[in-house]
Amino acid sequence: MTDVGPRLKDGKTSENSVKTTTTTFTIVEALKELGSCGVTELVNHVKLLKSTVHNYLSTLE
């Protein structure tokens, strides 16, 4: 088994946290670029699954 980095208190690795933060910033930056847009347009811009974008938007709301 390969080492994926130190574990955080919630059991996740710091690598997971970095990926989550990167995805959040990708979505926020796309919203800034696109202005007013629908979820489908945002999904096409960031190249992520619609369910993923929806979950992030729900969290950011």
Residue 28 is predicted with a pLDDT of: 97
Q: Which domain holds residue 49?
A: 37-61
* Residue 50 covered by a domain: yes
Residue located via tokens 């979505």: 27
Please give the Cα distance from 50 to 32 (Å, whole number). 18
Residue 16 is predicted with a pLDDT of: 82
Question: Any residues with CB less than 8 A from the CB of 40 and at least 6 apart, and which?
Answer: 50
* Residue 42 covered by a domain: yes
* Residue 19 covered by a domain: no
* Residue 45 covered by a domain: yes
* Residue 12 covered by a domain: no
* Residue 28 covered by a domain: no
Element (H, E) at 42: helix 39-46
* Residue 53 covered by a domain: yes
Residue 59 is predicted with a pLDDT of: 94
Residue 1 is predicted with a pLDDT of: 46
Looking at the structure of the chain, the number of domains it has is: 1
What would the mean pLDDT of 17-44 be, rounded to a whole number? 95
What would the mean pLDDT of 12-27 be, rounded to a whole number? 88
What would the mean pLDDT of 29-56 be, rounded to a whole number? 96
